[in-house]
Amino acid sequence: MTSFKDKDVTDTGYNNIDHTKQKRSKPIILTDAAVKNHEELWPDYHSKAIHSDPELIQVFDNFAFDEVISYGNLDTKTRVMMILASTIASQALTEYKMFVNAALNVGVSTVEVKEILYQSVPYVGIAMVIDFIYATNEIFTERGIELPVEGQSTTTAETRYEKGLALQKAIFGEIIDKMYETSPSNQLHIQKYLSANCFGDYLTRTGLDVKTRELLTYSMLISMGGAESQVKGHIQGNVNVGNDKETLLSVTTQLLPYIGYPRTLNAIKCLNEVIPE
């Protein structure tokens, strides 16, 4: 084996070697705000990525936990809940597990965590949610949280359609009647499913108020991509229940680091179409 000493080293080669060493030893620089906000979510957490990918962590943490957080009107608890919903819709299981722990650390209740999960089922589908349910149960068990959490259902088989339809109309108004009136007969069952199942079985549940649930739905839809028609409908639904454009822009901004620019820009385009400047 030839040692370093046995080989002729040019000035260029030496400078390259020295430059690589300097890059590897360069300390990561995080802003005070980024450190503070990260510590609030995950006290005393030591990231492995800070050693393997320090430059990425420096860029991402300073952006997500300082620059982005400084925008908007969301409190920490609401912001974390929106990110939880987004990670489910994005199928980002590793990030979801991080934010379940963060949620519990900042005061999101176990019922609220479960309600976010359950609400995602009619929008994302159980096939996309089941692994997140199992992961949540594992985290709860590790933290000594007893399962199941307190039930939040408010409907029965006899009342789910009536109560679901009433909630739909309370959020969206007369358009629900028009959807029923204009639906072809061979597709009317889907409208009834929306009323009884999506709204009756899930959105009538307690544990989260209607304003929060509409924000969560918006977060899921913009994170999924390809659901712009539904995004626009739920932008109007958010406005109807009291979530203004600034709040929706705040949610969209907080999700940017996790869903990327294309989906963020699509969401903003929908916002501007429904709520012009």
pTM > 0.85: yes or no: yes
- Whether the pLDDT of residue 249 is over 90: the answer is yes
Amino acid at 210: V
- Tokens representing 113 are 């965590």
Domain ranges of the chain: 32-42+53-62+71-142, 155-204
Least confident of 6-10, 147-151, 199-203: 6-10
Q: What is the fold of 32-42+53-62+71-142? A: AhpD-like (1.20.1290)
Question: Which pLDDT belongs to residue 26?
Answer: 77
Q: How far is CA 137 from CA 69, 79, 93, 197, 208, in A?
A: 29, 22, 13, 24, 19
Segments in 143-200 forming alpha helices (H) = 160-172, 175-182, 188-193
